[in-house]
Structure formats: structure tokens, C-alpha cells
Amino acid sequence: MKKNNVLKLLLFVFIMIPILVSSQDNSSENKYQSLIQEWLLQNKNKYQFTDQDIKDVRINESYYSKKTNLTHVYLQQTYKGIEIKNAISGIAIKDTSIFYFSNSFVSDIAAKGTNFTPQIQPISAIKNAAVHLKLGEVSDLKMQTSKSKNQYIFSNGKISKKEIPVKLVFQKINNSLQLAWDFSIHSSKTENWYSIRVDAISGEVIDVKNWTLHCDFDNHVKFVPASVKKNRELPKKPVYTFGNGSQYNVFPFPTESPNHGSTQLVSDPSNNIASPFGWHDTNGSTELNLL
């Protein structure tokens, strides 16, 4: 009898641990959501946001860094419940204050997105992409699961090494937001792995990125897709000013990589205690001596 009670207690503990952990994560995210929403509203004029621009911002991911004592939060901008592709901004929180904001949101979205109902189905979008990329004939393409509204997993259709994830997004095209089906196909015939956007109204392929880099070892020439090449460009030559401080074109802290933000011009980034004469001092003077 005693043994059965112990087993029941252990079973209860194993059941409750995931629930408690999930509850703590949700509570933490809810706390950040309120803090971030309030901060965005207070600073909307600074970033030229409308209320609609920041109304449906949701937390994609968050984590705490012991090294920096900062909580990093990544925000996904949505409109009418639909994600805006690559509209992901980063926020760093210290204690209960916003320490840093890296803005990648689209402003005035209500004026840029006008179509909200897709006119073509995901299957048609996948077939159009297969023709556009010459991937071969699509067959046995079926929906495997529906993860949520307008987000699905399809079979490989005999054109992909993997199942094909599809979701509805807004794609930024010039100064507008185009409703599109967003999915990836890992070609069954080559090593190419394509990230694709197909216009959900017209069925036209409007954006393709190849996640695979190709190298020609005979000529030692590496092919890099234009989208990757653009993000890998080196920052412009730093501009230095004398007297009150220097300026640098950098990917500012806590931006993790060129994919998480753009370069910014920062002034006097040195710590006054650690570097009282700046970063270029050689003689205990505030004058910059550059080689």
C-alpha cells in the first residue's frame, strides 16, 4: 500500500513539473509583454509608429544572459493576426527597464497592407514555385497537419527532401505589404534549399532565397546569394571626431549578428571608468592618436 502511494506521488510530480515550468515561462513572457507594450506606446513618436503598428506585437523568444545581466527579447510584428516577414525587433531588458531597442518594424502598416484573404491555396503556391524553380513535377502533395490558422505542414510532393512548412505572411515589397505564402523546399534533385514567397492573391513568385552556398573548388570562387552578400557587407569606414569623443559605424550591442539588425553610428561608446581617455589613448590624453 505504501509503495503504491509513493508511485502515485512520483507520477503526480512528473506530471506537474512541465506544467509549472510552462506556467513560469508564460508568466515571465506576460510580464515582459506588458512592459514592452507600455514602452512602445511611450516611444511610438520617436520611431514613427502608429497604434496599429505596435498593437499586435508578440514575443517570439526570450532568454536571460548571466554574463550581461540582460534579458534579450525578440518581438514579431503582426497585422490582422498575420506575421510580417522579417519584421523582428530585439529588446534588451535590465531589471525592469528597457535597456536597448533594435528596430526592424514596419511603420504605418495600415496604409501598406490592404489584402487579408488569400485567393490561391497553399498547394497552388507550391506548384507555382516548383515550375518557377524547375524542381520537377509535383505529385502526392497533401496537407499533413494544420498547426494553426493559415499555417500548415505539407508532404514533400516528390520535389523536396523534407516536408514543406507553409504559412501566410505579409512580404515587404517596396513600400507595401503583400499577402504571401511563405515556405521552404529542400530540392530532392540538388542540394539547393529554397526559402520562397508566393503572392497569395496572384500566385506569382515574388521572393526566393537559396539557403545553400555553392563553392567552385577548381576556381576557388564561392557563390553567395545576393541576400546573404548584402547582410555580410562590412560596415563603412568609421568616422572619428576629436574633442568630446569618437564615432563608430557598428552593429551595436546587444545585436547578435548582421541578421539581427543594421549598423548604427554610435558616439563615445567607451566606459568613462574603464577608459577615461577613450579607446585610442597612448599618452594619458583625450586627444585621439590614430595610426
* Amino acid present at 238: P
The predicted pLDDT at position 9 comes to 57
Taking every pair of Cα atoms in the chain, the longest distance, rounded to a whole number of angstroms, is 82
Kind of pairing, strands 164-173 and 82-94? parallel
* pLDDT for residue 10 is more than 70: no
Using pLDDT thresholds of 50, 70 and 90, give the confidence band for residue 246. low
Higher pLDDT, 237 or 141: 141
More confident site: 221 or 241: 221
Each residue of 56-69: pLDDT tens digit?
999 999 989 888 88
Q: By three-state DSSP, how is residue 36 classified? A: helix
**Given 3-state DSSP classes, what are the helix, strand and coil percentages for the chain, each rounded to the nearest 5?**
25, 35, 40
Predicted confidence band at 247 (pLDDT cuts at 50, 70, 90)?
low
3-state DSSP of 94-122: ECCEEEEEECCCCCCHHHHCCCCCCCCCH
> Same CATH fold, 122-223 and 2-111?
yes
> pLDDT per residue over 124-153, tens digit each?
999 999 999 999 999 999 999 998 889 999
Q: Which three cell numbers stand for residue 92?
A: 534588451
Q: How far apart are CA 78 and CA 52, in angstroms?
A: 10
pLDDT grade for 17, boundaries at 50, 70 and 90: very low
pLDDT of 248 = 74
pLDDT in tens, 253-277: 767 677 667 777 776 677 666 666 6
Confidence bin at 8 (pLDDT 50/70/90): low
Q: Of 280 and 168, which is predicted with more confidence?
A: 168
pLDDT of residue 282: 61
Give the angle 41-177-80 at the CA atoms, nearest 5°.
55
Q: Could you tell me which residues are beta bridge partners of residue 108?
A: none
The rounded distance, in Å, linking the Cα atoms of 63 and 123 is 36
Higher pLDDT, 260 or 21: 260
| pLDDT tens, residue by residue, 29-79 | 567 899 999 999 999 999 999 999 999 999 999 989 888 889 999 999 999
Predicted local distance difference test score (pLDDT) of residue 152 = 97
122-223 CATH: 3.10.450
Query: Is the per-residue pLDDT at 193 higher than 90?
Result: yes
For residue 155, pLDDT beyond 90: yes
- Decide: 257 and 251 in contact? Cβ < 8 Å: yes
pTM, to two decimals: 0.67
Q: Is the pLDDT of residue 82 over 70?
A: yes
Residue 166 bridge partners (DSSP)? 152, 183
Question: Domain spanning 2-111 has what CATH number?
Answer: 3.10.450
In the predicted structure, residue 290 carries a pLDDT above the cut 60: no
Domain ranges of the chain: 2-111, 122-223, 234-291
CA-wise closest residue to 260 among 107, 48, 92, 78: 92
Give Cβ neighbours of residue 137 (< 8 Å, ≥ 6 apart): 130, 158, 159
Q: What is the pLDDT of residue 223?
A: 52
Find cell 535597456 and name the residue.
99
Amino acid at 16: M
For residue 237, the 8-state DSSP code is P
End-to-end, the C-alpha distance of the chain in Å comes to 82
User: Which pLDDT score is estimated for 183?
Assistant: 98
What percent of the chain is modeled with pLDDT above 70? 69
CA distances (Å), 252 to each of 88, 269, 272, in order? 16, 10, 18
Strand 70-79 to strand 264-267: parallel, antiparallel, or no bridges (unpaired)? unpaired
Cell numbers that stand for 64 in this block: 536571460
CB neighbours of residue 180 within 10 Å: 28
